[in-house]
C-alpha cells in the first residue's frame, strides 16, 4: 500500500471502522460480481441453460449491494464531512460500486443470451467462440479487484495494460463471426447473440480498467481517467 494513503490513521477510531467497513462491502460486492461473471462464461461455453438462468435472475443481489454501499457513503459524507484522503476513499468507493454494478449487468446480459443459445438448436457450434476472450476479461477483473484489495498502484497499472489485448481479441472475434454470417445466413441470429456476449465480455474488461484507475486515484490522489496508458506508466512507474 502506498504511503500517500493510510486508512488506519484517523482522529476517530469509529470513523476508521466506518471506512474499513464500507471498503469491505465493496470487496464483498466484487467477489459476488466476479462469481457471476465466471458462472455466466461457464453457462455460455458449456451450454448450461439452468446456470445461465440463475445468473440472469440473480443481478438484483448486486444492485442491492450497490444501493447499500451508496447509502453508507452518503451517511459518511453527511455526518463526517471527510476531507483529503478520507474524501477520496468515499468518492472512489461510490464510483467503484457503480462500475461493479455495471459489470453485474453485463454478466446478466451474458446469462440471458447464454440461456437462449443453450435452448436453441444451432448454438452449439459457436457458443464457445468467446471462451478465450472471457478468460482474459475475468483475468483483468480479478487483477483489478486484487489491486483494490491491496491498494497496489503498480498492480493496477499492470492490470490495465492488458486491456488493449482484450480489445484486439474482441475485434478479431467479431471479424470471424461476420465471416461466418456471410457464409451461413441461416445462423445470423445465433452469431449475433454470440457477438453480443463477446461485446459484454469486452465491456467487463473496460469496467475493470475503470477500477484500476480508481485505485490510482484512491492512493495517489490523481484522476487518470483521461490519460493514456503510456502517460500513466510514465507518471507512476
Three cell numbers written together for 233: 506508466
- 7 within some domain: no
Give the chain's domain count: 1
H helices present in the chain, as ranges: 13-46, 49-56, 59-80, 84-119, 131-150, 153-160, 163-183, 188-220, 229-236
- 47 within some domain: yes
- 5 within some domain: no
- 32 within some domain: yes
- 1 within some domain: no
CATH number at residue 150: 1.20.58.220
- 3 within some domain: no
- 173 within some domain: yes
Average pLDDT, the chain: 92
Taking only the tens of pLDDT, the chain with its 237 residues reads 554 565 555 457 888 888 899 999 999 999 999 999 999 999 999 999 999 999 999 999 999 999 999 999 999 999 888 887 888 999 999 999 999 999 999 999 999 999 999 988 666 778 899 999 999 999 999 999 999 999 999 999 999 999 999 999 999 999 999 999 999 998 899 999 999 999 999 999 999 999 999 999 999 999 999 999 999 999 998
DSSP 8-state code for residue 7: T
Would you state the pLDDT for residue 7? Answer: 56
- 30 within some domain: yes
Amino acid at each position: 500500500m502506498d504511503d500517500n494513503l493510510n486508512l488506519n490513521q484517523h482522529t476517530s477510531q469509529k470513523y476508521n471502522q466506518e471506512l474499513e467497513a464500507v471498503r469491505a462491502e465493496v470487496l464483498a460486492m466484487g467477489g459476488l460480481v466476479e462469481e457471476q461473471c465466471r458462472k455466466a462464461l461457464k453457462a455460455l461455453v458449456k451450454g448450461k441453460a439452468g446456470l445461465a438462468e440463475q445468473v440472469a435472475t440473480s443481478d438484483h443481489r448486486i444492485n442491492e449491494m450497490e444501493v447499500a454501499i451508496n447509502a453508507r457513503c452518503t451517511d459518511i459524507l453527511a455526518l463526517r464531512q471527510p476531507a483529503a484522503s478520507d474524501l477520496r476513499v468515499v468518492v472512489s468507493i461510490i464510483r467503484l460500486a457503480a462500475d461493479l454494478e455495471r459489470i453485474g449487468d453485463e454478466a446478466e446480459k451474458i446469462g440471458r443470451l447464454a440461456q437462449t443459445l443453450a435452448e436453441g438448436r444451432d448454438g452449439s457450434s459457436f457458443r464457445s467462440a468467446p471462451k478465450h476472450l472471457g478468460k482474459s476479461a475475468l483475468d483483468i477483473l480479478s487483477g483489478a479487484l486484487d489491486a483494490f484489495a491491496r491498494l497496489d498502484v503498480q498492480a493496477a497499472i499492470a492490470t490495465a495494460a492488458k486491456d488493449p489485448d482484450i480489445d484486439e481479441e474482441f475485434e478479431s472475434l467479431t471479424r470471424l463471426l461476420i465471416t461466418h454470417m456471410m457464409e451461413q445466413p441461416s445462423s445470423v441470429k445465433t452469431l449475433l447473440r454470440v457477438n453480443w456476449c463477446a461485446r459484454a465480455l469486452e465491456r467487463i474488461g473496460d469496467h475493470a480498467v475503470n477500477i484500476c484507475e480508481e485505485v490510482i486515484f484512491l492512493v495517489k490522489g490523481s484522476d487518470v481517467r483521461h490519460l493514456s496508458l503510456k502517460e500513466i506508466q510514465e507518471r507512476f512507474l
